[in-house]
Amino acid sequence: MYGAGKLLDEPFNVAFISCPAVNAGVASRGNREPRPKPTVGADGKEVPAPAVPAKSEKDKEAAKAEAKSTIATTMLERIDRILAIALLNGHTHIVLGAYG
């Protein structure tokens, strides 16, 4: 029985692979351009940025669906990458931690 500070009779090698989960907040924002910043006119007064039109409910739902798809695709790509790295390095056992 091991524990309480007792060392193993034989050491064994382990490897760690780290890969972050998808940042859902960033993915849900999509590739939208940032809101334009106000500028200062020749008279030194602030010129407000042009108004950004509000999205319709249909556009909001489409954006949510696209974000979910992006998150799922990215997660699968990362999982595939982790498994490929393990396989290419000859690992036969993997312990998976929390992922997102």
Joined together, the tokens standing for residue 52 give 């950004």
pLDDT per residue over 41-68, tens digit each?
Answer: 778 788 777 766 777 888 888 888 888 8
One-letter amino acid for residue 77 of the chain: E
| 67 Cβ contact partners less than 8 Å away, ≥ 6 residues apart | 24, 27, 28, 30
Q: Per-residue pLDDT averaged across 78-92, rounded? A: 92
Which sign does the torsion angle of CA 70, 72, 74, 76 carry? negative
Q: Is residue 32 over pLDDT 80?
A: no
Torsion 68-71-76-77 (CA) sign: positive
Q: What pLDDT sits at residue 90?
A: 93
Domains of the chain by residue range: 57-100
